[in-house]
Structure 1
Amino acid sequence: MVGFLHAADFHLDSPFAGLSPERAAERRRENRALLGRMAEYVRCSSIDLVLLSGDLFDSGSVYQETWEQLSRALGDMGCPVFIAPGNHDFWSPSSPYARGSWPDNVHIFSSARVEAVPLPELGVSVCGAAFTAPEQTMPLLEGFRAEKDGLVPLMVLHGDLGAAASPYNPISHEQVSASGLAYLALGHIHQRSEPVRLGATWCAYPGCPEGRGFDELGEKGFYHGTIDGDDVSLRFVPFAQRRYESLEVDVSDQEPAAAVEAVLPPSTERDLYRIALTGETDERGIDLSALQQQLGPRFYDLELLDRTRIREDVWARAEEDSLRGLFLRELREKWDRASNDEERETVTQAVRFGLAALDHRDLV
C-alpha cells in the first residue's frame, strides 16, 4: 500500500489585499509556515509520495525567503515530490522553478508534453506536464494513454475539468476516462471537490490549503490518499491556519450584537468573518462603528455590512402633508423603481440621512 498527499494552489506570496498591511504580511508569513507544517505531516503520517498540482506561487515574482522555505520543506518531506506548474506559476527559464537547485527528491515537470517518471520501488509511475505560459488552451491530456508496464499510473496536472472553452488546460471527462490512469491529481479550482470516478480513473481537486478571501470560504486542506493495487481511496485533511466565513444575520426586532452573537460558533478568534446584517430597522439604522468595536475582538478580522431595510411604519409617514411626507414619497418612488439590492440600499441610506437632517440629529 502506498500513501500519498495531494495538495495544490498554495498561492504563496499572495497580496491578501483585503486586509491591513500588517495583517496581510502576517497572513503571508502564516502561508509560508504551512509548508513546514505540511512537511511534518508527511514525515509522521506514512506518506510515500507527494503530488502538488500547480499554483504553488501566486506569480513569477517571489520573495527569496519564500523560495527557500518551500525548497527546504519539500526536501524535509524525505519522499518523492512531484510538481506540475500551473497558470500562476507556469514554468519558464525565468520562473521561480528555474531559480536554483531543488532537493534531489523533487521533480518539477517543465514541458507541455506529458512525461512519465517510474517509481518501481513504490509500484507506481507518476505522469505530469506543465503550463509553460499563463494560458494553456491545448488540452495537455488529449491523446494520452498510460503505458501498461505493471506500475500503477498516477498523474499530477493543473487544469479545468469539464470546461471545454477554458484557457486553463481544458480537460474533458472523455479524456480522463480514456487515460488509463488510476488517479488524476488536479489543481486550479480552489474549492475542494469530492473524488469522482470517470471510467476507471479517480480524480479530485483538493482546493487551496489556506483561504485568501471571502471567495474561498470554509475548511481548507489537502487529500491524504492510499493506493492498494488499482484501488484508490482519499481522505480530506483540514489544515488551514484560519478560515474565511460569511454570515447573514437578521436583526429585525433584535439588538444587533445579540443577534450576531446568537449565531456564532463558540470559537472565532482565529478566523476572518464577513457578516451582513439584514432585516428591518427604524430610520436610525445600525451603528456599524459601535458594533465593530463591540464584536471585533472576537475575530482575527471582521467585516460588517449593513443590508437592512427601513421598517414599513417609517414609509407610512409618507402620507403626511409635510416636508417629511414629501421627502418620503419621493424616496419611496425611487425604492419602487430600484432594479437591484444595491440601488435599494442606496435609497435606504438616503432616507436615513434625510430623516436625521429633518430631525436635527446625528445619524450614528
Structure 2
Amino acid sequence: MLTIIHGADFHLDSPFAGLTPQRAAQRRGEQRELLSALAELSRERQADLVLLSGDLLDSHQTYRETAQALSQALGQIPCPVFLAPGNHDYYHINSLYAALDWPENVHIFTSGDLEAVELPQLGCVVHGRAFQAPREDASPLSGFSAPQDGKVHLMVLHGQVDGAGDYAPISREDIAASGLHYLALGHVHQCSGVQREGNTFWAYPGCPEGRGFDETGEKGVLCLTLDENGCQWELVPLSRRRYEELAVDLTDRESPLEAVRAVLPPDTDNDVYRITFTGERGEFPLDLTALETVLAPRFYGLTLRDRTRVRREVWARREEDSLTGLFLRSMAARCQADPEDETLQLAVRFGLAALERGEDVAP
C-alpha cells in the first residue's frame, strides 16, 4: 500500500491585484503558510510520497521569503517529493527550480521529455516531465505505456484532460492506455475527485486555496492510498480563507439586511464573499453602500451586487397618463427585449426615484 499526498496550483506570490498593498502582502504570507501545512499533513498521514503537479509558483517573479519557505517546507517532508513544473512556473536555466539548492528528498523534473525515477524501497516508479515554455501543444502522454513489471507506476504532470491546444492536452484514451496506477495532474483549479480510465486512476486536486470568485468553496490537497483493492481518497482542506458566492432573493422581503442575515453561515470572518441580490422588489434602488457598511465587519472581504428586477406591479403604472406612465412605457419595450440587462433595470429604478422626488402630474 502507498500513501500519497497530491497537490498542485499553489500559485505562490500571486499579485492579488484587487487588494491593497498591505492586504496583498498578507495574502502572500498566508500562501507560504500553506507549505508548512503541507509538510505537517505529510507527517500526520505518514505519507510515502508527495506529488506536486505544477504551478507551485504564479510566475518567475518570486520573493526571497517564498523561495526560503518553499525549500524549508519541502525539506521538512519526511518522504520523497516529486515536482513537475507547469505553464506558470515552467523550467528554464534562470528559474527558481534551477537556481535554488533543493533538499535531497526533492526531485524536480526538468526535461520536456518524460523521465522515470525508481524507488526500490517503495516498489514504485515515478514518471514526470516539465513545462519548458508558457504554452505547449504536444500531448505528454501520447504513446506512453508503463512496463508491466510488477511495480507501481505513478506519473506527475501538468496538463489539460480533454483539452486542445496550448496546455499539454491529455486524452482519456491515452490515460487508459498508459498502464499507470495513478496519474497526478495539475492545471485545473477545481478538485476533480479521483477518476478512472481503464485501469488508471487520475485526479486534479485543485488549488489549495482560492484567490478569486472563480475558485470558490473548499480547497486543499488529495490524500490517497493505492493498494491491490484500488484507490481510496479524500480532499484534505488546507486553506485559511475561502471565496464564496451567495445569492439572496429579496422577493417579498422588506429588509435586505435581514434577508442576508437569515441565510449567512455563522463563521465568515476569514472568508471573502460576493453577495448577489436577486428577485423582484420595489422601484427604489438598493443602498449597497449602507448595506456594505453594516455587513463588512463580518468578512475578510465583501462585494455586493444588485441583480434584482423591478416588481411586476410597478409596470402596471405605465398605463397612467402621467410622467411616470410615459417613462415606464418608454422603458418597457427595451426591458422586454433584454430582460437580463442589469443596466436597464437600474435605469428604471433611478428614473422612478427621480420622478418620485419631482413632479408626477398629468399634463
Please state which band the TM-score falls in when normalised by the shorter chain: over 0.9
CA contact (8 A) 2:285 2:350 kept: no
TM score, norm. by length of structure 2: 0.94
1:350 is matched with 347
CA contact (8 A) 1:182 1:230 kept: no
2:207 is matched with 208
1:187 is matched with 186
User: Which letter does structure 2 place at the counterpart of 1:153?
Assistant: H
CA contact (8 A) 1:61 1:96 kept: no
2:66 is matched with 66
- Give 1:358 deviation, angstroms: 2.3
User: Which letter does structure 1 place at the counterpart of 2:222?
Assistant: Y
1:268 is matched with 268
- Give 1:47 deviation, angstroms: 0.8
Q: Could you list the per-position Cα deviations for residues 31-55 of structure 1 after superposition, in whole angstroms to 9, with x for gaps in the alignment?
A: 1111011111112221121000000
1:45 is matched with 45
1:246 is matched with 245
CA contact (8 A) 1:220 1:238 kept: yes
Cα distance, 1:356–1:232 mapped onto 2, change above 3 Å: closer
- Give 1:230 deviation, angstroms: 7.4
1:132 aligns with 2:132: yes
Partners of 1:91 and 1:233 lie apart in 2 by: 32
Q: Secondary structure at the match of 2:217?
A: coil
Cα distance, 1:284–1:129 mapped onto 2, change above 3 Å: same
Count how many residue pairs are aligned between Structure 1 and Structure 2.
357
Q: For structure 1, which segment, 232-241 or 48-57, has the greater mean C-alpha deviation from structure 2 after superposition?
A: 232-241
User: Which letter does structure 1 place at the counterpart of 2:85?
Assistant: P
Partners of 2:334 and 2:226 lie apart in 1 by: 63
2:227 is matched with 228
1:175 aligns with 2:174: yes
Partners of 2:160 and 2:213 lie apart in 1 by: 22
Q: Could you list the per-position Cα deviations for residues 188-232 of structure 1 after superposition, in whole angstroms to 9, with x for gaps in the alignment?
A: 110001211111111011000001110111100111112335743
Partners of 1:278 and 1:190 lie apart in 2 by: 28
Partners of 1:281 and 1:198 lie apart in 2 by: 50
CA contact (8 A) 1:120 1:151 kept: no
2:23 is matched with 23
Partners of 1:359 and 1:232 lie apart in 2 by: 66
User: Which letter does structure 2 place at the counterpart of 1:347?
Assistant: L
- Give 1:261 deviation, angstroms: 1.1
Runs in 1 of length 4+ with deviation above 4 angstroms?
none
1:325 aligns with 2:322: no
Partners of 1:39 and 1:237 lie apart in 2 by: 13
User: Which letter does structure 2 place at the counterpart of 1:11?
Assistant: H
Partners of 1:230 and 1:154 lie apart in 2 by: 16
CA contact (8 A) 1:196 1:204 kept: yes
Partners of 2:105 and 2:278 lie apart in 1 by: 53
2:109 is matched with 109
Q: Which runs of 5+ in 2 are unaligned?
A: 359-363
- Give 1:177 deviation, angstroms: 1.3
| Alignment equivalent of 1:359, drawn from 337, 356, 359 | 356
Partners of 1:125 and 1:309 lie apart in 2 by: 59
Partners of 2:337 and 2:305 lie apart in 1 by: 23
User: Which letter does structure 2 place at the counterpart of 1:196?
Assistant: Q
Q: Secondary structure at the match of 2:345?
A: helix
User: Which letter does structure 2 place at the counterpart of 1:236?
Assistant: L
Q: Could you list the per-position Cα deviations for residues 78-131 of structure 1 after superposition, in whole angstroms to 9, with x for gaps in the alignment?
A: 211000111111111122211221111110001111100000011111110111
User: Which letter does structure 1 place at the counterpart of 2:168?
Assistant: N
Q: Which runs of 5+ in 1 are unaligned?
A: none
CA contact (8 A) 1:51 1:156 kept: yes
Q: Could you list the per-position Cα deviations for residues 160-185 of structure 1 after superposition, in whole angstroms to 9, with x for gaps in the alignment?
A: 1122x231111111111111111100
RMSD, matched Cα: 1.5
Q: Secondary structure at the match of 1:139?
A: coil
1:56 aligns with 2:53: no
Q: Secondary structure at the match of 2:233?
A: strand
Q: For structure 1, which segment, 320-329 or 18-27, has the greater mean C-alpha deviation from structure 2 after superposition?
A: 18-27
Cα distance, 1:82–1:184 mapped onto 2, change above 3 Å: same
1:308 is matched with 308
TM score, norm. by length of structure 1: 0.94
Partners of 2:104 and 2:279 lie apart in 1 by: 59
CA contact (8 A) 1:285 1:308 kept: no
